[in-house]
Each structure stands twice: as C-alpha cells, then as structure tokens.
Amino acid sequence: MLTYQDFEKVKDREKERADFIEKLIREHEESAEVTTARAADEYDAQRNVTINQYARVIYTVKGRPVKDFTAANNKIASNFFHTFNVRRCNYSLGNGVEFSDEQTKKKLGLQFDTRLKQAARCALIHGRAFMFWNLDRVHVFRVTEFAPMLDEYTGKVRAGVRYWQLEADKPLNITLYEEDGYTQLRKGKGKELEEIEKKAPYKRTTAKAPAEAEPMVIAEENYPALPIVMLWGSEQHQSTLVGMRGAIDAFDLIRSGFADDLQDCAQVYWILENYNGMNDTELAKFRDRLKLMHIATADTGDGGKVSAHTQEIPHEARTKFLSEIRAGMYEDFGLMDLRTLSAAATNDHIEAGYQTQDDMADDFEYQIIEAVQQLLALQGIEDTPEFKRGKVSNRKELVEILVMEAGLVDLPDELLLKLFPNFTPEQVAEARAEAVEEQARRKTRTQTREDEKNEGEGGDA
C-alpha cells in the first residue's frame, strides 16, 4: 500500500513521481476494494455476476465437464442490491439535510443535497466515496476512479489521483490532487506520463480590464487542508455487497433453476427397452435428439420401446426457501419489509417495526456527519447536519388524532412535526387540512341534529 509519506519522498523528482503515480493506479486497480466495487456496480445495475456466468454442465464418459447445450439456461437477476441501497440512502437523505444555522446550507450550494446523496449511495455500494469541494460545490469521486494517498499517522487523505479514459486505446487522463494545488497529467498509448498543466491553486481571483482580452489573476489561495473528504458507508468500512452476495446468488439460482425446469422439463427421464447394444455416448446422443427433435424411432419387431416418465417439479419447498432468503436479506440489511405491514397497523406498530432500520441509519448518519463537518471546516464553519428520515406512517390515524384533539390543529407546523416526527411537512399539512374539514363536517352534523331536535320539541308543544 502506497501512502502519502511514500509520495513525499518522490514528489519533487519528475520521473520518479510519474512512476509512483502509475504504480499507485495499478495497485489501486488490482486491490480487493476495487474488485469488489466493480462487482457491486454490476449487482447495482441488476447484472448479477454469478447468475450471468452460470451454465449447466454435463460430464462425458471420460469425466470431462462440457456445457449442456440442450438445457435451458434462464438468467433471472433480482434487484435486491439496488433497492436496498436506495432505500437506506433515501431513508436518511431523501428529504435532504438541515443545519442549525440557515446560512450554512446556502454556503454549500444549491446542489449540495443532490451531491451528498450521490456520494452516500456510492459509499454504500463501494464501501467509501470521496467528496471534492471546489469553490462553491461538491464533486463526487468513486472508488473506481480515485486512488487516495493516506497519511500513515492519521489515516486521513493527504493527496490522491483521479484517473479516467474512454477506451483502452485512448489516453489516460490523470489529475493529481495535493494540499497546495492540483496538476493535470496525461499518458498516451505507448507514451510516458507527461504533465500537461502545471500545478494550480484551488482558489483563484481574477479581474479583467476593459482593454484586455484575457482576465488577469490577481490572487491565488488554497484551503487549510486537502479539499477532498472521505465518506465511509458504515462502521465496517466495506461494501454492502459483502455478506449479501451469497443470499442474492442463492435466490437468483433457485428462481432461475425453477424456470429452467419448467421450460425443458428437466425432471423427464426416458426408459429404452431392448436397446442394450447402445453405449453411454450413443444413449446421450439419443437423449439429446429426443429433447431437440421430440421424435424417436423404435424397432417394434425386436420389442424395442421408448417411454417417457415424469416427476412433479418440486415447487412448495423452493417457494418457501425463497421466502426465507428474502426475509433474511431484509433482516440482515436492517430494512423493514413493507409487505409485513397490515393496513390496520398503527403508528406505534410502524415505529416499532422501524427500530432495526433506525439503528442502521444511526451508524450511516454518523459517517455522513463526520464527512460533512470536514467539508464545513474547509470553509471555517462549525455546524452539524440534521436528518429527516423518510418513514411510512398511518396518516389516517394522524387525521383522527387532530380531529379528536381540536387544539392540535391550531399549533404551528414546527410543533406538529416535533410531536409527530414520522411525518413530512407535506403530510402534516395534508392531515391538518383533512382534520379541519372533518371537524367542520362533524360540527355541521351536530348542529343539524340539534336543530331537528328543537323543531321536534317545538312541534310537540
């Protein structure tokens, strides 16, 4: 592992620095972290690696495995990995973040919530992500494109290299980020790594006189630390694919295997009578011809006979096991399965069901808080992000509470949100409007009954 201290030894010698950067990228690409991250990207795109590589094999009479070209090979990939990570990310960041000082959010730019959410999802999928603060906005670097150089003593990112290229035969573009500025480099095919733009500071102030064509740099400045912050996805510092991949693969293989059985009736077997003269190879060819052509010839003069026998394809056991795998994945990932909620569930029941998900969110949000505070420190700001978790709630129950407790309807939105933290401002506003309408309807019905009663008593008199 190459560190910042290793880089310091060679950064002032151009040839050695170039060799160091190439070695850093090469080692980063070959690391277990990047290998896992690339596999995680495939699962996130619903291109589950194991099921896409799976193929049925049969063995020849000599024991050599060959692909069974007659067998169905369905590849049904589930979307659990993408769904789970989106839900965990949206649960904490779907409504953005707030700060105690309103000016803090404005200083972070209009796109901050979007970029933070993007970085958080990358951190979940890959294990960590990097946020680069550039003047007035955040840029997100993925593990598969950024090789950090960590300090051997503090573990913080002190420098790093971002790299990318369109195709293998196209130039490799590299940006070297250091505490005192960034440098642009490029490596063409069959060429040495070369510097194409000298080191520049992160902040520049320019001015342009009316008579001059180009703006003039009047001030240059850097941040108090490297403006790249590392965001971990969890306390484990690893991709959410770790531990989850086996369950996803088992689910996909069982479901795809069941589809294969239904398609080519793998449970059908053939009985050949008076065909004892055929060896194993000839029997295999005979079977393949039956499966492909659905035609067989039998010498009835010698008592030859071909008969098919079938077994009922096991369904109940597979369905039950799939349900158990699915439930286990929800439990291990710490998400509440919305299918388990009944229509009559109260907010207390829903809140209890969210307990595990809240515990996992606490761990995730701790990582986000630490990273965001480092971003704020670059601007000399001290503040802490606050989260509004997106939960499913029984709005009908809230309406009933507001109707029964008439005084609650007149409370400000801020107080109602504190009393009912599971609801969004929009849900509270809608519930308040429904409660006001329901109170008016009830008042009208009560008044009508009183009027009818009074008229009846007057008539009797």
Give the Cα separation of 453 and 268 in Å (integer). Answer: 79
Q: How far is CA 126 from CA 23, 36, 146, 267, 406, in A?
A: 22, 7, 12, 41, 50
388 band by pLDDT with thresholds 50, 70 and 90: confident
Q: How far is CA 458 from CA 143, 155, 187, 446, 449, in A?
A: 84, 88, 100, 18, 14
Q: Is residue 341 domain-resident? A: no
Q: Is residue 347 domain-resident? A: no
**pLDDT exceeds cutoff 90 at 309:** no
Q: Is residue 136 domain-resident? A: no
pLDDT digits (tens, 9 = 90+) for 60-74: 656 676 666 656 677
| Lowest-pLDDT range of 146-155, 168-177, 197-206, 378-387 | 197-206
Q: What is the pLDDT of residue 168?
A: 85
Give the Cα separation of 9 and 23 in Å (integer). Answer: 15
Q: What is the pLDDT of residue 191?
A: 87
pTM over 0.85? The answer is: no
Contact predicate 416/428, CB 8 Å? yes
**pLDDT exceeds cutoff 70 at 246:** yes
Q: How far is CA 138 from CA 109, 205, 458, in A?
A: 8, 19, 76
Q: What is the pLDDT of residue 173?
A: 96
Residue 206 CB-density burial (10 A; 0-12 exposed, 13-18 middle, 19+ buried): exposed
Give the Cα separation of 91 and 98 in Å (integer). Answer: 15
Taking Cα atoms as reference points, which of 119, 375, 111, 15 lies closest to residue 229?
375
Q: pLDDT: is 334 or 371 the higher one? A: 371
Mean pLDDT of 311-319: 75
DSSP string of 7-25, one letter each residue: HHTTTTSHHHHHHHHHHHH
pLDDT digits (tens, 9 = 90+) for 8-57: 999 989 899 999 999 999 999 999 999 999 999 999 999 999 888 876 65
Contact predicate 203/220, CB 8 Å? yes
**pLDDT exceeds cutoff 70 at 224:** yes
Q: What is the pLDDT of residue 258?
A: 79
Q: What is the pLDDT of residue 299?
A: 62
The first and second tokens of residue 364, run together, are: 């995730």
Give the Cα separation of 268 and 270 in Å (integer). Answer: 7
Q: Is residue 233 domain-resident? A: no
**pLDDT exceeds cutoff 70 at 259:** yes
Query: Across all residues in the chain, what is the average pLDDT?
Result: 82
Q: What are phi and psi of 320, to 5 degrees?
A: -65, -40
Q: What is the pLDDT of residue 36?
A: 96
pLDDT digits (tens, 9 = 90+) for 132-142: 998 788 999 99
Tally the domains of the chain: 2
Q: Which of 309, 340, 371 is the last residue of a domain?
A: 309
The percent of residues above 70 in pLDDT, for the chain, comes to 72
Q: What is the pLDDT of residue 237?
A: 94
Q: Is residue 92 domain-resident? A: no
Contact predicate 200/181, CB 8 Å? yes
Taking Cα atoms as reference points, which of 228, 188, 233 lies closest to residue 89?
233
Mean pLDDT of 76-82: 92
Q: Is residue 363 domain-resident? A: no
Q: What is the pLDDT of residue 275?
A: 62
Taking Cα atoms as reference points, which of 368, 350, 394, 372 lies closest to residue 120?
368
Q: pLDDT: is 110 or 78 the higher one? A: 78
User: Rounded to the nearest 5 degrees, what angle is found at the Cα of 253, between the Cα atoms of 247 and 258?
Assistant: 130
Give the Cα separation of 199 and 206 in Å (integer). Answer: 17
181 band by pLDDT with thresholds 50, 70 and 90: very high
Taking Cα atoms as reference points, which of 76, 57, 46 lies closest to residue 257?
76
271 band by pLDDT with thresholds 50, 70 and 90: low
Q: What is the pLDDT of residue 461?
A: 47
The total number of residues shown for the chain amounts to 461
Q: Is residue 443 domain-resident? A: yes
Give the Cα separation of 411 and 398 in Å (integer). Answer: 14
Mean pLDDT of 431-456: 73
DSSP string of 95-129, one letter each residue: T-EE-SSHHHHHHT-TTHHHHHHHHHHHHHHHSEE
**pLDDT exceeds cutoff 80 at 238:** yes
Give the Cα separation of 258 and 245 in Å (integer). Answer: 20
Give the Cα separation of 415 and 392 in Å (integer). Answer: 20
Give the Cα separation of 130 and 132 in Å (integer). Answer: 7
459 band by pLDDT with thresholds 50, 70 and 90: low
Q: Is residue 460 domain-resident? A: yes
DSSP-derived letter for residue 300 is G
Domain span holding position 446: 393-461
Coil, strand or helix at 449? helix
